[in-house]
Amino acid sequence: MEGLSISSIWKIFKWLPPFILRKIFTKERMGELVLIDVRPRHEYATVNLGEAASFDIWLQVINLSPFEIELDRAELKFLCGGTTQKTSTLKKRGLNSGQISLLHLSDSIPDGHATQIARNLDNHSSTIEIDIEFNCKLHNFPKSTGPLYGVLPRFVNQGMRKAHRDRTPHD
């Protein structure tokens, strides 16, 4: 058993008939075999508080299932500085068994939300929640992360937001 790898074991499962595979790899089990988190290197969250405020989030998706899956759609909720930002993507992306893929999500931040985030930079507690739908030859399945705590975004242009807030109407 020394030379037996996980990919060899997965190949054995692929030979089973689909009705048995559906019993073994339920929608819940398939969701458990997909790992989603913020990317581990470099910046994974950036909040730009400039005039055209926006946020960028980079996620890592790992397919640990024995099947090729396809990311069908994703919805992201980003809680930052007392505000909630939402974005989604409908861009389909295939992931082979064992593949690691990066997913980039970004969107604009309304002006009032950006000002509130700038005011709460010292006490921010950011979280990310992701709901993703996957397609697979066995069955389509969802994956929800629940809140991912401890997100530490890099803030840029927060000084511009403060300078804008400090101006009076007579300037």
* pTM score: 0.82
Q: What is the pLDDT along the chain (171 residues), one digit of tens a residue?
A: 454 455 566 666 667 788 888 898 899 999 999 999 999 878 899 999 999 999 999 999 999 998 999 999 999 999 999 899 999 999 999 999 889 999 999 999 999 999 999 988 766 679 999 999 999 999 999 999 999 998 999 999 988 776 555 544 544
What's the rounded Cα separation, in Å, for the pair 61 and 95? Answer: 9
- Distance separating the N- and C-terminal Cα atoms of the chain: 77
Measured CA to CA, the distance from residue 65 to residue 29 in angstroms comes to: 9
| Number of helices and strands in the chain (H, E) | 5, 11
Domains and CATH numbers, the chain: 6-156 (2.60.40.10)
pLDDT of residue 171: 44
Report the distance separating Cα 56 and Cα 48, nearest Å: 8
CB 147 within 8 A of CB 127: yes
